[in-house]
Structures are given as structure tokens and as C-alpha cells.
Amino acid sequence: MYLADSRGAAAAVAPDPGPGRRPAAVPATVLALGAVSLVTDVSSEMVTAVLPLYVITGLGLSPLGFGLLDGINNGVGALVRLAGGHLADRGGRRHKAVAGLGYGLSAVCKPLLLLAHSLPAISAVLAADRTGKGLRTAPRDAMISLATAPGQRGRAFGVHRAMDTTGALLGPLAAFAVLRATVDGYDAVFAVSGCVAALGVVVLVLFVPRHVTSVTSATAARPPGPERPTVRDALGLLRRPRLRRLTACAGLLGLTTVSDSFLYLLLQRDGDLPAHLFPLLPLGTAAVFLTLAVPLGVLADRVSRRRLFLAGHGVLLAGYGLVLSPWHGVPAVIAVLVLHGAFYAATDGVLAAATAGAVPAQHQGAGQALVGTGQALARFVCSLSFGAAWNLWGPRTALALTAAALAVSAVAAAFVLRGPEEAPV
């Protein structure tokens, strides 16, 4: 379903407020994209929540070794993300079309799970689902950047991330409600998840404008006709010093960001945490992220996004320190989760907002993809090396080394990122 758009519809999404009027807190497009993410995350987390149960008790399969393809998926996911960002910029801003393709692909995958009864088939469906996620991420962040006035982007990304995380927390609730009503009706969970995902696509189609135009450049004189950035142009983005520095720093800090699963494993091993509380750890991080995403986004708009991004990594460093400290038990674990959630709130949307300021409007998709992919690949390398360090020296030494590397990286990043914050787009 694709609805025709009106003639000459490239209107500014959040028109500059007249003098004396307060600007809208968050542009409608951002709220619409937030709603799409919320609904889509309900759908995908429904599946995530019941998938282990389905595989083990529903299908009676032993899923060990199931995660082996994760490495390949990560690599493919990174490439898809770059392609998604670039394709979205081409052809006069096809952000909505490319994002819609990504959301649509993931939506189709949900009912396909009904047909997959073996681990290889389930892996294939999940890989397609991830491809959809990779495809949509950069165009979505590009649309948020374009729809928002530069001074408000921290807040806008904060609102989007908070809505996204709300969906992630609601998904498991919805899944288990269906599972209760049907007594192990996994097919019903997948079908409902597919319907919810389809609703996300409908909201995208109806409420996100087909052409999101930069609020800053819309008022200025612009060359007529769509711009068609080439691959060369996209790669040329790295010649821009500000984007190059941001990508380098996101990558450098990503190299020292231990993956969530390793952190939770360390908390459980060293934190004297009762085994049954283990599944609650990701919820703790998500709840703090959700709560702090907007306030820290607003703070980023006030002080400086890059400064907050660095401060977020300082908070992460404090979290590592707490894990390594002799303070154990449930209160210590809660403190670590608060720091971990605050780290995400101070860095995730804030990095996207900082990226938006370093890339011209017609390259927002490629720019977001570049920085996001750099960070994701660096974190993947960190996982591999952290695992190797654990094997060689044990978990605590591995974390101490990572913490030291994070401290050095943060100092280096602070040095690289000094200088003026934003430049005119």
C-alpha cells in the first residue's frame, strides 16, 4: 500500500516559528517516526521474548550454537545499513521509501516464522528481519535530523529513543498476554506480532511525509529538482573533517564498549546476583535509558552534544569501575544498571544528533549510516577481543584492560573533538 502524494509537496515539516512563538517541542514527523519505532519494537520484542521458549519447548530443539551466525549477520547488517543510508539519499530523498522497505521486510518475516520449523530456517528468517532493521535505521535517523531544527535535535532524538525503548518494554508483556490466552499458542504470538508490525508500516505510510526536507535549508534558496548524491559523494563525506573526527571517535570509543551480554554475564558471576534475577538485567538498563533519554537529549542541546557523548562514556567507565570494585550484591548491580542506562541515554540519540550537525542535508542518510556502522563494527571487534582477553586472562582482567583502554580513548576523543560544536548546515 503506497499512497500518492500531492503535487509540490516538499514542504517544510517544522516551519520556523514566528517571533514570539515558542517552537513546537518536537516536530510531528519525529513523533510519527517515534510511534512507528514504538509499534515496531512491540512487534519485534514480542518475537524475541518468546523465541527461546518456542525453539526449546515448542519445537523441542536444542539451540546451543545458534548464535554462531551472529558474526556474519553483524557484517551483513553493517553493509546493509550503509546501503540503506546511501540509497535513501539518492533519487531526491527516498528516506521514507527505503525506511518503509526495511519496516516492511521485517513485518513480512513475522508470519514467515510460522513456517520455519528448523534452526537453519529460523536463522534465515531472523537474518532477513535484521536486514530490514539495518535498512531502515539510517533513513529514519536522517528524517529525524531533517525534520528538526538543529538546536532541538538532542531533544528530538531523545524523544525518539524513549518511544523506541517503551515499545521494547511493552513487547514482552504483549507476547506473554497472548501466550497466556492461548496456552503455548506461539503461532498466535507470531501472527499478532505480524499484525502489529504491519500497523507500524501503516503509521509510517500515513503520518511520515514522503519528502522530509531540511528545516534549515527549506527556507533558503535551493537548487531546483532532486539532488542525486553518488556513492563517490557519500564516500567523500569522510573528507569532511568534522564527520571524520566524529566517526573516528565513535569507532574508538566503540572499541572499548563491552557488549551488554558480557556486562550482564560479569554482573551475574561477580555480583553475587541470584540466578533468577538475571533475565531482569536488560530491563533495568532499558528502564533507565527510557527515563533519561529526553532529559539528557535536552541537556545535550544546551551544553554540547559531543561533550555529553564523552560524558556518557565517563559514566560507562564509572560502571566498569563499580563492577571491578569490591562492592557486590543487589544494590551494586542496580547502581551499575543505572550507570549503564545513563550511558545509553547520553550517547545513543546524542551521537545521531551530533552526526546530523556534521553532515549536509542531502547526505544525512549516508552520514548517519557511516557513523552508526563505524560504531557497530567497532563494538563487534570489542566483543571478539574481549572474549579472547577473557580466555587468556580471565573476566576481571579483561574488564580492567577495557576500562583502561576506555579511559585512554575518552581522553583522545576529547582532544580530537575539541573545537566549535556545530557549523551551518
Partner 1 sequence: MSGTTGMTRTTRLVILLAAVLLLGTVGAGTVLHAAHRSGLRDQQQADGPAVRTGTVSLLPSGGRRLLVRNLAWGPHRDEIATVPADRPQGPRTASGVTCLRFHAAAGTGICLQAVHGALQDSYRAVVLDAHLRERHRFAASGIPTRARVSPSGHLVAWTVFVSGDSYAGTDFSTRTAVVDTRTWAVEDNLETFHVVKDGRPYQAADINVWGVTFADDTRFYATLATGGRTYLVRGDLTTRTLTTVHRNVECPSLSPDGRRVAYKKRVEGASPDAPWRLYVLDLRTGKETATAERRSVDDQALWADGSTLVYALPGDYGSDLWSVPAAGTGAPRPLMASAVAPAYLG
Interface residues for partner 1 in 391-420 (CB under 8 A)?
Answer: 391, 394-395, 398
User: Which residues make beta-bridge pairs with 12?
Assistant: 213
What is the chain's alpha carbon radius of gyration, rounded to the nearest angstrom?
Answer: 21
Collect all residues with Cβ–Cβ distance below 8 Å to 308 and sequence separation of at least 6: 154, 296, 299, 300, 346, 347, 350
| Residue 420 neighbours by CB under 8 Å, 6+ apart | none
Minimum distance, C-beta of residue 347 to partner 1, in the bound complex (Å) = 18
End-to-end CA distance of the chain: 34
Separation between Cα atoms, residue 310 and residue 202, nearest integer Å: 38
Residues 52-111 that bind partner 1 (CB under 8 A): 52-53, 56-57, 60-70, 73
Residue 11 near partner 1 by CB under 8 A: yes
Minimum distance between the CB of residue 243 and partner 1, rounded to whole angstroms?
Answer: 26
Looking at beta carbons only, is 57 or 325 nearer to partner 1? 57
Classify residue 424 by burial, with Cβ atoms within 10 Å: 0-12, 13-18, 19+.
exposed
Tell me if 353 sits within 8 A of 304, measured CB to CB: no
CB of 410 to partner 1, least distance (A): 24
Q: Which is nearer to partner 1, 119 or 298 (CB)?
A: 119
Instruction: Quickly list DSSP for 86-97.
Output: HHHHHHHH-HHH
Interacting residue with partner 1 among 17, 71, 387, 418 (CB under 8 A)? 387
> Could you say which residues in the range 115-144 bind partner 1, by CB under 8 A?
118-120, 123, 126, 129-130, 133
Would you say 7 or 239 has its CB closer to partner 1?
Answer: 7
Residue 409 near residue 198, CB atoms below 8 Å: no
With b for 16 or more beta-carbon neighbours within 10 A and e for fewer, the 247-282 pattern comes to bbbbbbbbbbbbeeebbbbbbbebbebeeeeeeebb
Residue 57 or 230: the one with the smaller Cβ distance to partner 1 is 57
Query: Does 16 contact partner 1 by CB under 8 A?
Result: no
Verify binding: residue 298, partner 1, rule CB under 8 A.
Answer: no
Asked if 148 interacts with partner 1 (CB under 8 A), we say no
> Whole-number minimum distance, CB 164 to partner 1, in Å?
12
User: Whole-number minimum distance, CB 398 to partner 1, in Å?
Assistant: 8
Task: Pick from 158, 209, 349, 357 the residue near partner 1 by CB under 8 A.
Answer: 209
Measured CA to CA, the distance from residue 66 to residue 119 in angstroms comes to 7
Q: Which stretch binds partner 1 (CB under 8 A): 45-53, 159-167, 297-305, 343-351?
A: 45-53
CB of 392 vs partner 1, minimal distance in Å: 8
Q: Which of 32, 135, 163, 425 binds partner 1 (CB under 8 A)?
A: 32
Contact 161, 349 (CB under 8 A): yes
Positive or negative, the CA dihedral 228, 234, 239, 240 is positive
Residue list 260-289, contact with partner 1 (CB under 8 A): 260-262, 264-265, 269, 274-276, 278-279, 281-282
* Residues in region 316-355 near partner 1 by CB under 8 A: none
